[in-house]
Structure 1
């Protein structure tokens, strides 16, 4: 399936609205074509059953499914059971998962269609896309766009979080992101408050069993609380929070959240509250944490936008940085590299033969998922047919039992920088006051 770039997310939402108007065309489509359409809708929302399971912890989600989508009790119960069963197959053991991100999306699509039927499934995916899109603040249409306002920019494949104040980058953090089975979504969210000494209610999922009791509140300050001293909600199912070891930075570290060390989240809180117009000093943060069993929420004077991007091709310092496609979205293509170059007035065909060769080779090498597998669907000269790649991967899966563990590590090189002479003094800003957590 051809990858649809996240920069077109706003256009996709408009297209999704037409879902309910395509019944006549649907009759002439083959079953495989209809499934492909639904899978594409799911892919545009990063939708997996693990994410659905997290959404059921959102206070009004179940009620809204019934009121807005007119789902009956049996359908909602079946959705919850399917989501819970999918998460039940996952653990955080050391052995890597053999399931790809796209396989998780396909699994979700199949289950949703089975439970709701094709027409209702289309409405369901439109509902998910619309619910978690900010109509006023969509992702930018230009790749690598530098904000002109105050906002947080998170780029998952770069494991990087930037703080911009009035269009100026003032701070950069190295982060951990969601496992591919629990991906950090894309879109524009808002940070409205900071919660000191958060409690944690563990879900009834295998990755918490044996450590704590599902459903029983884990108090603030407990060593069993994975949230650390501070959490910043940015819209379900995601948070920015502490509690991570430095070894988790630049890697997978969470179930759909942005992970920081305790020291990092304390520093980030100071910077966030400053740009929000309600500064909290390091001393005040320390005072909150002295009362580590008391949870306190502090509202920001001005909400701060949090932009969650997925950009594997980034111009910076006269180079194109090609990041590993850790969520297997097929983004490392000549087409996407050309779009990035175009944004800076550089034409691919004008590059030197050496630059073209280096760029093509880098795209090919980084066209791998976190497990080091080639990604089918991205056409590169040196790769061979996408069908062959997909068949080999499926054959490999048949030769071993599906383990279902979450993918913990990125295997191999994470990025390649390709010098491009015409990009001199152009590109997204390099990290500023870089906090690597060490």
Structure 2
């Protein structure tokens, strides 16, 4: 998904209502960092950082935003940022990603560390008040506020929409509340995560061009800023891209080995065959079906970019649910984006939806649930996620000393995290969930 460090992630980055809460509080707790007189108390700082960990905003995101044509000018006109402040933001953002590559050696930096780094840098450069305004600007620019994620867990829609659940590496097509198709997908690297929120698909673009950013991962294969034509082997978008509330995308170009793994800079990645199949289903549920033959005809003219407008926009819901009830069990997925979601509280919320009380589970079911939460409370590299305390857990997890030693033992070469080390999913069987929960995959397209 190399197309889109500059754009693809970043409308949704930015589904960050928590940033609004987080940085509004800065306005009332002090002035600039260099002014120690009115600095917020340490406890308040800790609370704000904890809130920030529930968002996805990193300096890599900021770096991507500067590739949008009017982003910099908007910072000047709407926020009245000085040229020096904008230059400092650019330096901080580009420095954060200049060492990132896509080699096999994983990064040793925690995703939470990346978020905290962004928090510190933005406030340091802009000051508390301007930082608050900055994130309000981001929210207003990229989140139209028309649609929000469901409050209840594992929500099954009654309308027509696409649902993507990142930790499950799964995308579903619903038509009037009925699941009609499921796809295995690739998602964004933890350093460039797939965002959350409800977007819209309005167009299908055949034979898209690609303009590479000035980033290390381009690696000299093409020149930054030089448009790579449709049909070129150097174009990573594949034969079709679907903007989902620009600038995020669903697109092809991925090898089947990348499915169920990290392979993009914040987008949903499919193989060429999958994206062709998905186009057929998307156009069908949108009301103007495009046949497989028509899709093939578009691709025969692989150097000509053509756009087809969908008759009806289709909602695309980007979720991050690591605990999903599904016909007889709780599916617990690895917390690959390190959000601290595999908790007993979240498991209880899912069970409560189906009128199942945690205390009513059998001893074996309860024990298995606690162990499953503990085992899946790991980031993509297999490190325990700090700050998640599940009572009755059978394991004490890694000690702070052990985690520090593990971090010290790894070389921080700045590469993106490409693989999920170890088991991705555990199913905890619960008798009372039989026949209940989110639908099983339907006619799954695994890309093979």
TM-score, with structure 2 as normaliser: 0.90
Specify which of 244, 248, 269 is matched with residue 234 of structure 1: 244
Q: Which residue of 2 aligns with 1:217?
A: 227
Distance (Å, rounded) in 2 between the aligned partners of 1:10 and 1:85 = 23
| Pairing 1:124-135 to 2, within 5 Å after superposition | 124-135=134-145
Cα gap change, 1:398 to 1:122, in 2 (>3 Å)? farther
| Pairing 1:405-420 to 2, within 5 Å after superposition | 405-420=415-430
Task: Specify the SS of the correspondent of 2:250.
Answer: strand
Q: Which residue of 2 aligns with 1:117?
A: 127
Cα deviations by residue, 1:89-109 (Å, 9 ceiling, x for unpaired): 200011111112111111111
Task: Specify the SS of the correspondent of 1:190.
Answer: strand
| Shift, 1:87, TM fit | 1.2
Task: Tell me, yes or no, if structure 1 residue 179 matches structure 2 residue 189.
Answer: yes
Task: Tell me, yes or no, if structure 1 residue 22 matches structure 2 residue 34.
Answer: no
- Computed over aligned residues only, the root mean square deviation of the Cα atoms, in angstroms, reads 2.3
Task: Tell me, yes or no, if structure 1 residue 299 matches structure 2 residue 309.
Answer: yes
Cα gap change, 1:421 to 1:11, in 2 (>3 Å)? farther
| Shift, 1:237, TM fit | 4.6
> Does the CA contact (< 8 Å) of 2:29 and 2:38 recur in 1?
no
Specify which of 421, 434, 438 is matched with residue 444 of structure 2: 434
Cα deviations by residue, 1:387-435 (Å, 9 ceiling, x for unpaired): x33x533343334431100000001100000111111111000101100
Specify which of 117, 132, 153 is matched with residue 143 of structure 1: 153
| Shift, 1:14, TM fit | 7.2
Distance (Å, rounded) in 2 between the aligned partners of 1:141 and 1:207 = 37
Task: Tell me, yes or no, if structure 1 residue 384 matches structure 2 residue 396.
Answer: yes
| Shift, 1:12, TM fit | 4.3
Task: Specify the SS of the correspondent of 1:126.
Answer: helix
Distance (Å, rounded) in 2 between the aligned partners of 1:398 and 1:53 = 28
Q: Which residue of 2 aligns with 1:363?
A: 373
Q: Name stretches of at least 5 consecutive residues in structure 1 with no aligned partner.
A: 1-5
Task: Specify the SS of the correspondent of 1:227.
Answer: coil
> Does the CA contact (< 8 Å) of 1:10 and 1:139 recur in 2?
no
Distance (Å, rounded) in 1 between the aligned partners of 2:47 and 2:75 = 22
Specify which of 336, 342, 356 is matched with residue 346 of structure 2: 336
| Shift, 1:13, TM fit | 7.2
Cα gap change, 1:172 to 1:159, in 2 (>3 Å)? same
Cα gap change, 1:77 to 1:35, in 2 (>3 Å)? farther
Task: Specify the SS of the correspondent of 2:217.
Answer: coil
Cα gap change, 1:34 to 1:131, in 2 (>3 Å)? farther
Distance (Å, rounded) in 1 between the aligned partners of 2:27 and 2:63 = 29
| Shift, 1:212, TM fit | 1.3
Cα gap change, 1:52 to 1:10, in 2 (>3 Å)? closer
Cα gap change, 1:361 to 1:432, in 2 (>3 Å)? same
Specify which of 197, 200, 219 is matched with residue 190 of structure 1: 200
Distance (Å, rounded) in 2 between the aligned partners of 1:25 and 1:117 = 7
> Does the CA contact (< 8 Å) of 1:41 and 1:126 recur in 2?
no
| Pairing 1:8-19 to 2, within 5 Å after superposition | 12=18, 15=21, 18-19=24-25
| Shift, 1:383, TM fit | 4.2
Distance (Å, rounded) in 2 between the aligned partners of 1:240 and 1:193 = 11
> Does the CA contact (< 8 Å) of 1:90 and 1:406 recur in 2?
yes
Distance (Å, rounded) in 2 between the aligned partners of 1:279 and 1:64 = 39
- Please identify, of 95-104 and 283-292, the stretch whose mean Cα deviation from structure 2 is larger: 95-104
| Shift, 1:343, TM fit | 1.2
Cα deviations by residue, 1:115-141 (Å, 9 ceiling, x for unpaired): 111232233233333433341210000
Q: Which residue of 2 aligns with 1:277?
A: 287
Cα deviations by residue, 1:192-240 (Å, 9 ceiling, x for unpaired): 1111000111100000022211111111001110000000111355210
Cα gap change, 1:145 to 1:29, in 2 (>3 Å)? farther
Distance (Å, rounded) in 2 between the aligned partners of 1:210 and 1:13 = 36
Specify which of 382, 398, 413 is matched with residue 403 of structure 1: 413
Task: Tell me, yes or no, if structure 1 residue 107 matches structure 2 residue 113.
Answer: no
Task: Tell me, yes or no, if structure 1 residue 59 matches structure 2 residue 65.
Answer: no
> Does the CA contact (< 8 Å) of 1:202 and 1:214 recur in 2?
yes
Cα deviations by residue, 1:54-76 (Å, 9 ceiling, x for unpaired): 12222332222223322222211
| Shift, 1:38, TM fit | 4.6
Distance (Å, rounded) in 2 between the aligned partners of 1:232 and 1:199 = 13
> Does the CA contact (< 8 Å) of 2:31 and 2:127 recur in 1?
no
Distance (Å, rounded) in 2 between the aligned partners of 1:21 and 1:162 = 41
| Shift, 1:279, TM fit | 1.2
